Structure 1
């Protein structure tokens, strides 16, 4: 319970400072390159995410950062828990936006940051919104920004990886960018497996070898979906076994 209070207090208590910093950042937007501004904006969410994770007292282990390519890329990860986004923001040095539920727009400050991070908002109840999110995400990538997507659509809560939906392949093919598979294990131990109470977890992240844009272009969609899903699933299973062996 104490960890939960500390974490949520920081989550919302940090917003006034974030709002002040956002105004400072936006004042520099016209004089910075697109890549420089993305990197600047990324510093605040990364600081926020690190602060949240520090208060959960979780241990994070990350490897494979050398597999992050230069230039825009579609980051594709399994979706285990609510802490996937904070963990990835805190550990991945490459600036990225992500697809988020439109309900987040009701929060103060956060959606403004997300827009500058090049996030895309999705209304899950509207098919036209789902289609638009695909085209909007592809355009963000074409404009030179990296995007993270969870193709399972919903959290697995640590109970295996579900089927990957086809949208991420359409996005990558349309944008002509590489796909970077990312395997996450352990985020559900922080919250979902504790009746939504926050507890310390041991999270491992592995950034895997990218599927080059040339391969994305020439590979059939079904094969590409299976390739990326199997790559992530195999690594998640390996991480789970490694942790089991340590117990």
Structure 2
């Protein structure tokens, strides 16, 4: 219970404190490159996310980060639990935005941060709006920003990896960027499996080999979605590179 209270207090307090940083970031030189601008903006969420994970008492290991290519990519990840986002924000070197459910847009300071990170809000219940959001995300990719997608659409809570919704893969196809499979293991052990309490866990993030955009020339969205899903599942058992990179 104490860890839960401490984490919640830190998250809430830091969000309020970060309004000062938000004002500074909004005034960044517009002539900065996309990569440099993303690096500067991403620094605060990265620091915030790493602290959250340390407060949970968890240890995060990253495997295969050398597999991430230069330039914009779409990270496709399984979705174990609520701590997937802080783990990826805190421990992936490449800055990114992500596809988020529309409800998050109602959270005042969080919404502003997500806009700065080039996130996209999607309402999966509204097909027309969802298509518009995917197109918006593709344009963000074309500008050089990377993104994360959880194509299961909901948390597995540590269970089997669910079916991947193929429509979200149009983001990578229309954006013309590589897909990078990401396997997350252990985040559900922090929260979802503990009766909504927070406990320390060992978390592993495995980054697979990139899949180049040319795959869409020979395979349709459903085929690509299932291929990526199988890669993510396979990498949970046999990482493509067994050299661990401790991330704190």
CA RMSD of aligned residues (A): 1.6
| Runs (5+) with no aligned partner, structure 2 | 243-248
Aligned to 2:53: 53
Aligned to 2:213: 213
Aligned to 1:181: 181
Secondary structure of 1:155 counterpart: coil
Displacement, 1:122?
1.3
Displacement, 1:139?
1.3
Hey, what's the Cα distance between the residues in 2 that align with 1:38 and 1:29? 12
Aligned to 1:81: 81
Displacement, 1:11?
0.4
Hey, what's the Cα distance between the residues in 2 that align with 1:216 and 1:184? 25
| Runs (5+) with no aligned partner, structure 1 | 243-247
Aligned to 2:4: 4
Aligned to 2:23: 23
Is the Cα contact below 8 Å between 1:179 and 1:216 reproduced in 2?
no
Displacement, 1:134?
1.3
TM-score normalised by structure 1 residue count: 0.92
Displacement, 1:212?
1.2
Which stretch of structure 1 is more off in the superposition, 228-237 or 40-49? 228-237
Q: How many corresponding residue pairs?
A: 240
Displacement, 1:31?
3.8
Q: In the TM superposition, what are the counterparts of 1:52-201 in structure 2 within 5 Å?
A: 52-201=52-201
Is the Cα contact below 8 Å between 1:98 and 1:118 reproduced in 2?
yes
Q: 1:70 to 1:139 in 2, by over 3 A?
A: same
Give the structure with the higher percent helix: 1
Higher RCO (CA-CA < 8 Å; seq separation 6+): 2
TM-score normalised by structure 2 residue count: 0.92
